[in-house]
Amino acid sequence: MNRFWIDKISSLKPYVPGEQPTSDTLIKLNTNEHALPPAESVLAVLKSASGEALRRYPDPTASALRSVISAAESVPPDHIFVGNGSDEVLAHLWFALLKGRRVQTLDTTYGFYPVWAGLYDADLAEVPVLADFSVDVDALKNDDAAIVLANPNAPTGRALKPDHIASLVDSIHDRLVVVDEAYFGFGAETAVPLVADHDNLIVTRSLSKSHALAGMRVGYAIAQPGLIEGLNRVKDSFNSYPLDAIAQAVAAAAIQDKQWLMDASQQVREVREVMIAGLQTIGFEVLPSQANFIFTEHQSLGGKQIFDALRARDILVRRWDKQRIENWLRISVGTMAQAERLLLVMREIVSTETG
């Protein structure tokens, strides 16, 4: 608390990110970075960066990157907004389109949504997920409010099919629907094709997970031009140059390397299935996941008990002290070697704690 703070800052509850340990001895499965390094084509662009690119301001419109996204997503460039990670894109979105308005999201979802709601004076309603943690689409239709959905959802990993999103967008054409696809690329289907016929839909993406660029911070939104203009107005009122020149070039290279994306995604899905099957054999319930993480609960051991036991054995996962999910753990999909180590340690913990 400081005497110069405005009242809102005093009451604000900021987002708490996952721990980023400095130790190299930990197996880090808590913040959903990609298990693999970026593509060699991406690293080549990074290594070839010139002093001239650093001397000059970057393109404030990221036109070359937007052209690459346009080709990859089959949407016109004026349907694309880019930012310094999808969190910045979403923050601008909340300011431009949701500030002071009633907004619905899920009671078990990305923890930044309530923060932005508080920061921008939105009236946030949290709709309970169903008993199996799936989305109650009908409940979302019953409120006169905009909707913000993570799809796949975090931390559950469950994903809605595009026809469910289409029915939602069609039924509430006077309300905005935001689909946060930060975890797209690991099996879920995208809502991007729906944008062409829906002026109330905006889809956001991140390159942090699917393209292994969490350290670079690149995200974008796809929507019809009227919504994109609103985002650009906010961006240019904060910082006209949010995405640096190297990030723009690296992101373009990452998106263009489709073979790496397919191969890397397949590897994540293979390791994910190994993790799910292995945990199920020792008493864990694991939700079906379309993301690069799994959400799991043991039938007899508490979440904190397992979290602490894993940490004591140098494995870091994610847990929340929140009603409904206090005994659940979100575990990132790592390499196959990390998955095998996780399962070995989990078997030891279950045997020790239940024996």
Reduce the DSSP state of residue 264 to 3 states and report it: helix
pLDDT in tens, 82-121: 999 999 999 999 999 999 999 999 999 999 999 999 999 9
Bin 71: left if φ > 0, else alpha if -120 < ψ < 50, else beta: alpha
Q: Are 186 and 265 in contact (CB under 8 A)?
A: yes
Separation CA 335–CA 314 (nearest Å): 16
DSSP secondary structure letters along 59-119:
-TT-HHHHHHHHHHHT--GGGEEEESSHHHHHHHHIIIIITTSEEEEESSS-THHHHHHHH
What domains can be seen in the chain, in order of their start residue?
7-37+259-354 (3.90.1150.10), 40-256 (3.40.640.10)
Which pLDDT does position 24 carry in this prediction?
80
Cβ-contact 29, 338 below 8 angstroms? yes
* Predicted pLDDT of residue 83: 97
Q: What is the pLDDT of residues 168-201, one digit of tens each?
A: 999 988 999 999 999 999 999 999 999 999 999 9
Mean pLDDT of 148-173: 95
Please compute the mean of the pLDDT values over residues 136-143 and round it to a whole number. 91
- CA–CA gap between residue 330 and residue 196 (Å, rounded): 34
pLDDT in tens, 5-63: 998 898 888 998 888 888 788 999 999 999 999 999 999 999 998 888 889 999 999 99
pTM: 0.96
* Rounded Cα distance, 285 and 267, in Å: 23
